[in-house]
A and B are shown apart, each in its own frame.
Chain A
Amino acid sequence: SYVLTQPPSVSVAPGKTARITCGGNNIGSKSVHWYQQKPGQAPVLVIYYDSDRPSGIPERFSGSNSGNTATLTISRVEAGDEADYYCQVWDSSSDPWVFGGGTKLTVL
């Protein structure tokens, strides 16, 4: 089955840029979606199809995907961005929805 690998944690100071990676075999050939989950809440879609932003998501959130790594970039990080972030792809060869293990973003 397809595996997505995320770093368990990323720390960043307010106002700086956070980059959260999602590794997978030739992930650049797949579409990647990113979700933000705050404690006690359901996940929220923040980036879809690699780099598109749903309405209501700040422009500070962006995404890219190439080769074996997809990246969620959060610019000018704010305290309110502190959350768990999950990448997700659709894979035709096994269980269709695959999630990464999640990355806890800490704002210092």
Chain B
Amino acid sequence: QVQLVQSGAEVKKPGASVKVSCKASGYTFTSYDINWVRQATGQGLEWMGWMNPNSGNTGYAQKFQGRVTMTRNTSISTAYMELSSLRSEDTAVYYCARAEYSSSPADYWGQGTLVTVSS
């Protein structure tokens, strides 16, 4: 069965960086885009960007341009999202989600990773 398993919760200080992993199983990793979506406590879903695991091509939301980097390691079917220059407003649950194409729905989601930014 398809699974996206994310890394565990992180606590970071303002100005630091965080790298969240998303390990895929149950399907061909390079056949589906990985999108990253975050959700602050009590707030809605916010799209951060996408990555094509086959080509490594990426696209980032304007809000995160220059602060986010999405990468992958195809040998272990794992995608990564790194967010730098963290501030308190970045405290949120970060989700990876699979989609066949840019316009496709996200049919499988990771369980989420809580990132807390606090001094």
Contacts and interface: CB of A to CB of B under 8 A. Distances in A.
A14 interface: no
Contacts of A33: 105-106
Interface in B23-70: 35, 37, 44-47, 50, 59, 61-63
Interface of A: 1, 31, 33, 35, 37, 42-45, 48-49, 54, 86, 88, 90, 94-102
Contacts, number: 58
B80 interface: no
A88 B62 contact: no
A99 B44 contact: yes
Interface stretch (B9-17, B71-79, B81-89, B109-117): B109-117
B62 A42 contact: no
Interface of B: 35, 37, 44-47, 50, 59, 61-63, 95, 97, 102-107, 109-112
Contacts of B110: 42
Contact of B102 (A86, A88, A90): A90
Those 4 A-B pairs whose CB atoms lie nearest each other, nearest first: A97-B47, A90-B103, A48-B105, A33-B105
Nearest to A34: B105
A99 B39 CA distance: 11
A98 B44 CA distance: 11
B47 A102 contact: no
B44 A101 contact: yes
Contacts of A45: 105-107
A54 B111 CA distance: 19
